[in-house]
Amino acid sequence: MKRLNVLGAEIHCITLEEAILNAKEYFEGDNCRMVATPNSEIIMNAMKDPEFMDILNSADMVIPDGIGLVYASKILKQPLKERVTGIDFVEGIFEYLNKEGKSVFLFGSKPGIAEIAVENLSQKYPNIKFTGTYHGYYKDTEEEKIVELINEATADLLCVALGSPKQERFINKYRGRLKVKVAIGVGGSLDVWAGTLKRAPVFFQQTGLEWLYRLIQEPSRYKRMRILPLFMFKVLLKRKKAK
Ligand code: UDP
């Protein structure tokens, strides 16, 4: 799989279908494989934090979860094939896990959310075994206990919804010990599966405006989104330097 460098982040140049196909192999392996789903905001944060950038780049698969990355890759004349959102990717994996009767652990989000997500997902994917949940508002001292809980649950897939960079840091810290086949940071996906957060309608998704819909739903995100024009500016600067 080809990786393209976008401001230091080594992003895989893949389609949604290729990403799912690739991940299926991970479920046959023995180690915990990490999938990261950076968007422009996450890359901007990683640029200020080299250790976090290393964590992102050390993931087995780094999928381009943001329309900003697709535009940036075009500007840098090394176009990504398409935007692959983390939630579409995980739902594709759920289809596969459902066929195979495999298991999932949902970790993160506010107390109670993962349980509602399990109820809803179980209706859609009746053959998946949801072997455990834990909320994401824990004390640092609880981490060991959480890792043990995850391992006792012996799930194939671990979804970590702690927001970035917390979720990637958690997976990276424990990936050597986690007895799961794949661990992925899923951001706000548990809230979507629980029905407390609405995903943008298809029109917004297809026109690359999902971020705008999210901003309308959660206006408090504007502070985080202010860095996005700066991301584009840095990309343009990089292209100018490369000329
Ligand atoms: N979250 C959590 N623990 C924390 C911080 C956040 O479980 O200490 C959860 C939060 O409740 C939400 C999820 O992380 O369900 C994703 O947050 P956010 O929307 O910031 O992530 P994004 O989708 O933008 O990566």
Q: Are 64 and 70 in contact (CB under 8 A)?
A: yes
Cis peptide before 38 (omega within 30 of 0): no
Give me the pLDDT at residue 224, please: 78
- Which atom of ligand 1 lies closest to the CA of 110? 11
Residue 229: which pLDDT band, with cuts at 50, 70 and 90? confident
Mean pLDDT score of the chain, rounded to an integer? 94
Q: Does the C-beta of 191 come closer than 6 Å to ligand 1?
A: yes
Share of the chain above pLDDT 90, in %: 79
- Tell me, in angstroms, the distance from the centre of ligand 1 to residue 188's CA: 6
- pLDDT (mean) for 7-20: 96
The conformation of residue 33, written as its DSSP 8-state character, comes to: E
Residue 108: which pLDDT band, with cuts at 50, 70 and 90? very high
- At 162-194, the pLDDT tens digits run 999 999 999 999 999 999 999 999 999 999 999
pLDDT of 1 above 90: no
- At 47-82, the pLDDT tens digits run 999 999 999 999 999 999 988 999 999 999 899 999
Q: Does the C-beta of 190 come closer than 6 Å to ligand 1?
A: yes
pLDDT of 243 above 80: no
Q: How far is CA 106 from CA 4, 36, 52, 76, 117, in A?
A: 30, 16, 23, 37, 9
Cis peptide before 219 (omega within 30 of 0): no
Q: Does the C-beta of 137 come closer than 6 Å to ligand 1?
A: yes
Both tokens assigned to 229: 């024009």
Share of the chain above pLDDT 70, in %: 100
How far is Cα 114 from Cα 123, in angstroms, rounded to an integer? 14
- Which atom of ligand 1 lies closest to the CA of 41? 24
Both tokens assigned to 130: 């949801």
- pLDDT (mean) for 115-133: 98
Question: Rounded to the nearest 5°, which phi and psi values hold at 101?
Answer: 65, 35
User: What domains lie within the chain, and their CATH numbers?
Assistant: 3-242 (3.40.50.10700)
**Which of 41-45, 96-100, 237-241 is the least confident region?**
237-241
- Tell me, in angstroms, the distance from the centre of ligand 1 to residue 237's CA: 31
Instruction: Kindly report the three-state secondary structure assignment for every residue of 109-171.
Output: CCCCHHHHHHHHHHHHCCCCEEEEEECCCCCHHHHHHHHHHHHHHCCCEEEEECCCCHHHHHH
Q: Does the C-beta of 136 come closer than 6 Å to ligand 1?
A: yes
Q: Please give the distance of CA 1 from its chain centroid, rounded to a whole number.
A: 18
Residue 43: which pLDDT band, with cuts at 50, 70 and 90? very high
Q: Does the C-beta of 79 come closer than 6 Å to ligand 1?
A: no
Q: Are 116 and 143 in contact (CB under 8 A)?
A: no
Question: Rounded to the nearest 5°, which phi and psi values hold at 70?
Answer: -65, -45
More confident residue, 61 or 223: 61
- Which atom of ligand 1 lies closest to the CA of 191? 15
Both tokens assigned to 129: 């075994």
